[in-house]
Amino acid sequence: MKRASARVSFDVIVIGASAGGVQALGQLLPRLPATFAPAMVIALHQPADASGVLAEMFDAKCALPVRLAEDKQPLVGGTVLFAPPGYHTLIEGDSAIALSLDPPEHFSRPSIDVLFESAAWGFRNRALGILLTGASADGAAGLLLIQQAGGAAWVQDPATAAADLMPRSALELGVSAQVLSLEEMSRRLAQMAARYSDLTLSGEIRNDKENN
């Protein structure tokens, strides 16, 4: 039986998190295998004047290259991009990052809704949205859009979240997401490894990682 939610791999994975997000990502990102196939874009609520050291910090701990997103940077499989603090981060079509300084949403820039909405438009059923811990309702509406466009939705089990408002808001909004612990998410993500053909596609950026 084939349903949209039965997909086991995706072209893009967008992740949203707020309070407690750094710790939650700390359980997910370092466990991604070097052969991980999808491109990943993360919107984490941070103060606008926060520096971009988070990407560097994760880069040192991860098998995959982790970078701060730059405007018009091409999306590449097996690469993790963080939204820069103070900027909305969108995906233009299904190929590149587009930044924006439009007003904050839910008092947040980057806003998770903004990122998720753009992924829904650009990737339809090839997108997976993941909403983690947070004391904000940002991301719920965006996750619903991803699902309505045929994509898949995961939320962190509110019972396990440092702050449960964010995952709870998505469920209360009616997103029929899979409710998972971080361990279960991590296990499933690890299975999204690249086939050989995908590996050559993302070979350039992998070399980039090795050179650092």
Partner 1 sequence: MAVFDIELRLLLEAIYLRYQHDFRSYTVSSLRRRLGRALVDLKVENLSRLQERVLREPAVLARLMQYLTVQVSDMFRDPSYFKALRETVIPVLKTYPSVKVWVAGCSAGEELWSLAILFEEEGLSDRTLFYATDINPEALRDAREGVFAVDRLAGFSKNYLASGGKGSLADYYHASYGGAHFARRLIERAVFADHSLATDNVFSEVHLVSCRNVLIYFNRDLQDRAIGLFAESLVRRGFLGLGSHESLRFSRHAGEFEPLVSSERIYQRR
Query: By CB under 8 A, is residue 100 in contact with partner 1?
Result: yes
**Distance in Å, CB of 29 to partner 1, minimum:** 21
User: What spatial distance separates the first Cα and last Cα of the chain, rounded to whole Å?
Assistant: 44
- The number of residues that bind partner 1 (CB under 8 A) is 25
- Contact range with partner 1 by CB under 8 A, out of 87-95, 136-144, 175-183, 200-208: 87-95
Site string for partner 1, 117-136 (x = CB under 8 A): xx--xx--------------
* From 59, 113, 138, 164, active-site residue: 138
Closest by Cα among 177, 191, 201 to 9 = 191
Query: By CB under 8 A, is residue 101 in contact with partner 1?
Result: yes
* From 18, 108, 136, 202, active-site residue: 18
Work out which of 72, 187, 191, 195 binds partner 1, going by CB under 8 A: 72
Query: By CB under 8 A, is residue 114 in contact with partner 1?
Result: yes
The answer to whether residue 138 is catalytic is: yes
The answer to whether residue 88 is catalytic is: no
Q: Which residues are catalytic?
A: 18, 45, 138
